[in-house]
């Protein structure tokens, strides 16, 4: 969150956020892809925090440190799902479902963007 505040401060110093927002919205596909990456970063950060809060005090939980939570969210978002860490509480499983859905959406969007880039005719 502090990095976002820093970016906003730098944009205000340069010429305000106007030019950056125009560039962002000029190319809808690239802007959408950047928004998906931003959402993925937010889900990684806040999903880890929510998972840790939901699982830390549960008896028999295996997600008990911040490192465990970040690893779980990263593996779940990438749809790999090793199974070494998993939620055992109902709230933790609900958070896990949200992380899975967002992960599939992120990778689906990135895949669609890349497919469009490879299959669209080149403009010279």
Hey, where are the domains in the chain?
28-119
Q: Both ends of the chain: CA-CA distance in Å?
A: 39
Residue 7 has a pLDDT of 73
Q: Is the pTM of this model over 0.85?
A: no
Residue 14 has a pLDDT of 63
Residue 6 has a pLDDT of 78
Residue 52 has a pLDDT of 94
Residue 21 has a pLDDT of 64
| C-alpha span between 40 and 47 (Å, rounded) | 10
Residue 112 has a pLDDT of 87
The residues of the chain scoring below 50 in pLDDT are: none
CATH code for 28-119?
A: 1.10.287.70
């Amino acid at each position: 969150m502090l990095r976002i505040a820093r970016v906003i401060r730098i944009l205000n110093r340069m010429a305000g956020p106007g030019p950056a927002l125009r560039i962002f919205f000029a190319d809808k596909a690239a802007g959408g892809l950047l928004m998906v990456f931003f959402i993925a970063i937010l889900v990684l950060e806040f999903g880890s925090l929510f998972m840790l809060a939901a699982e830390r005090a549960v008896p028999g939980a295996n997600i008990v440190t911040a490192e465990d939570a970040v690893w779980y969210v990263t593996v779940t978002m990438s749809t790999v799902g090793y199974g070494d860490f998993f939620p055992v509480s109902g709230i933790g499983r609900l958070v896990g479902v949200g992380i899975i859905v967002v992960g599939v959406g992120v990778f689906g969007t990135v895949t669609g963007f890349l497919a469009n880039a490879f299959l669209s005719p080149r403009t010279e």
